[in-house]
A = this chain, B = another copy of it.
Amino acid sequence: MFPVRVTTLTTGVVGTLLAALPADRVLLDDDVLASYRHDEAEWAPSGRPLAVVRPREAREVQAVVRACLEHRVPLVTRGAGTGLSGGANAVDGCVVVSTEAMREIRVIDPVERYAVVQPGVVNDDLRAACAAQGLWYPPDPASAPWSTIGGNVATNAGGLCCVKYGVTRDYVLELEVVTGTGELVRLGRRTAKGVVGYDLVGLMVGSEGTLGVVTEVTVRLRPARPAERTVVGYFASVVDAGRAVEAIGAAGIVPSALELVDRHCLAAVDAWKNMGLSVDADVVLLGRTDAPGEAGDAEAAGMLRCFEDAGATWAAASTDAEEAEALFSARRLAYPAVERLGPVLTEDVCVPKAAVPEMLARIEAAARRNDVLIANIAHAGDGNLHPLLITPPGDDAARERAQVAFTEIMADAVDLGGTVTGEHGVGLLKRSGLALEQSAAVVAMQRAVKAALDPHGILNPGKVLPDEVPA
Contacts and interface: CB of A to CB of B under 8 A. Distances in A.
Interface in A123-177: 134, 155-156, 158, 162-163, 166-167, 169-170
A309 to B, nearest CB: 15
Contacts of A263: none
A201 to B, nearest CB: 9
A421 interface: yes
A254 interface: yes
A430 B202 CA distance: 21
Nearest to A442: B185
A189 B206 CA distance: 15
Interface stretch (A13-21, A35-43, A291-299, A331-339): A291-299
A195 B424 contact: yes
A441 interface: yes
| Most chain B CB neighbours (cut-off 10 Å) among A196, A294, A353, A382 | A196
Interface residues of A, number: 93
B445 A196 contact: no
Given A448-B452, A449-B198, A158 B193 contact: yes
A137 to B, nearest CB: 15
Interface in A368-387: 379, 381-384
A468 B354 CA distance: 50
Oligomer copy total: 2
B179 A170 contact: no
Contact of A441 (B183, B207, B442): B183
A437 interface: yes
A186 interface: yes
Contacts of A442: 185-187, 197, 200
B179 A441 contact: yes
A197 B424 contact: no
Nearest to A455: B448
A437 B293 contact: no
A196 B430 contact: yes
Contacts of A293: 292-295
Contacts of A194: 350, 419, 421-422
Contact of A249 (B111, B155, B190, B206): B111
Given A246-B111, A252-B134, A193 B382 contact: yes
Nearest to A447: B452
6 contacts: A190-B352, A195-B424, A196-B421, A198-B464, A223-B253, A223-B254
Given A193-B419, A195-B425, A293-B295, 20 more contacts: A110-B250, A112-B249, A112-B354, A169-B202, A181-B441, A191-B352, A191-B382, A191-B418, A191-B419, A195-B419, A195-B421, A195-B422, A196-B426, A196-B433, A197-B426, A198-B446, A198-B450, A292-B292, A292-B294, A448-B453
